[in-house]
Chain A
Amino acid sequence: MTRALIAIFVMAVVTYLPRIFPLALVQKDIKSNFIKSFLYYVPYAVLGAMTFPFILYSTGNMLSALVGMLVAIVLSFFNKGLMKVAMASIVAVYIVELIMKGQF
């Protein structure tokens, strides 16, 4: 019990520090054009790297994940909102899994 509490405390600290470290340290606007460009691209790079290929392993099997991903890509290409894209993707995965289990 105490061990779990200590572990949780350590986890909380090593989760919080990376979050606030740059916020506490970098108080001014960075002048370097290279660094500014670099930081501008961070969200796009992080989103790309977080999504693929990990999305393929996020459901029961790769086929349903692939279909869910394609649905998400097509809908977001037409600027549907976060909720619609997420819901449609869940439904698509669910239907594919139903079909694969022969229950559809």
Chain B
Amino acid sequence: MSSIVEIDNNENDSSKILKSDFVKGLKLGLPIALGYVPVSFTFGLLAVRGGMSVWLAVLISLTNFTSAGQFAGTNLIIAGAPIYEIGLATFIINIRYTLMSLSLSQKIDSKMPIFHKLLWGFGVTDETFSVASMEDGRISAKYLYGLIILPYLGWFTGTLLGALTCKALSPMLQNAMGIALYAMFIALVIPSCRKSIAAAFVCGIAVLISTGFKYVPFLSNISSGWVIIISAIAACTIGALVFPRKEDML
């Protein structure tokens, strides 16, 4: 299975394009969905272990559909933190989505009606964003719905199974599965870095900065949500200055 299907520029029949867009999205969404199951499974398990009911854990996954934010928020709920603190922590972790959606706003069909954006916008995650933004050319609402639906179902199913499971998977297997989504990130970014020095450069700068945040004593207190935002903004600024895109490349 190839990670990113090239857009077929020779398609002329527009209805055919739209239909195949949805199917194309579905195909790309499948590996994301499978990657989500162990993560959401862990979420369901931890939430119920922490004293939450099964249906509340599932409700969180259905309404939030995000990993880091809902893990943090749920921990705070279980710890009895005040609502404003729960909201603020979750918000900070999720600000990175603004950057992703802003990038996507320039990537989607320019005439897309706003209600579509408000609907599929709910399904912007680190993974769906990454896959969508690696496409060549503009992307349609159908493509995005196809891309999002399976990961959403995977997130729901994993949470439900985790919440209902009394015994955990063997801890070693859980550990091993922890790397799945990161491995997918690598599989998404490395092929692009091979093709484009500029992309590799920007990615490398971002890695350097986020590593700095982790290991420089004073900076290591900053939450991972902020680290991603600051690293990305700095790396993209440097990238846009050093390797500005030419008009016909954009």
Contacts and interface: CB of A to CB of B under 8 A. Distances in A.
B159 interface: no
Interface in A11-44: 11-16, 18-24, 26-30, 33-44
Nearest to A33: B244
Contacts of A51: 182, 185-186, 189, 207
Nearest to B194: A77
B209 to A, nearest CB: 7
Interface residues of A, number: 79
Contacts of B199: 41, 44
Given A47-B188, A48-B206, A82-B3, A24 B91 contact: no
A29 B121 contact: no
Interface in B206-236: 206-207, 209-211, 214-215, 224, 227-228, 231-232, 235-236
B194 A54 contact: no
B205 A18 contact: no
A36 B250 contact: yes
A100 B57 CA distance: 34
Secondary structure class of chain B's binding surface, majority of residues? helix
A86 B96 CA distance: 24
Interface residues on B, range: 35 or more
B202 interface: yes
B166 interface: no
A88 B189 CA distance: 17
Given A18-B95, A21-B101, A53-B214, A41 B239 contact: yes
Interface string A52-64: 1111001110001
A55 B179 contact: yes
Contact of B94 (A18, A29, A40): A18
Q: Which of A37, A46, A77 has the most CB of B within 10 A?
A: A46
Interface of B: 1-3, 31-32, 34-35, 52, 56, 59-60, 63-66, 69-70, 73, 76-77, 83, 86-87, 90-91, 94-106, 110, 114, 117-118, 121-122, 124, 126, 129-130, 133-134, 171-173, 175-194, 198-200, 202-207, 209-211, 214-215, 224, 227-228, 231-232, 235-237, 239-241, 243-245, 247, 250
Given A24-B114, A36-B250, A89-B180, 17 more contacts: A23-B117, A23-B121, A33-B244, A33-B250, A36-B245, A38-B237, A43-B133, A45-B239, A49-B228, A49-B232, A60-B175, A76-B190, A82-B187, A85-B184, A86-B181, A94-B172, A94-B173
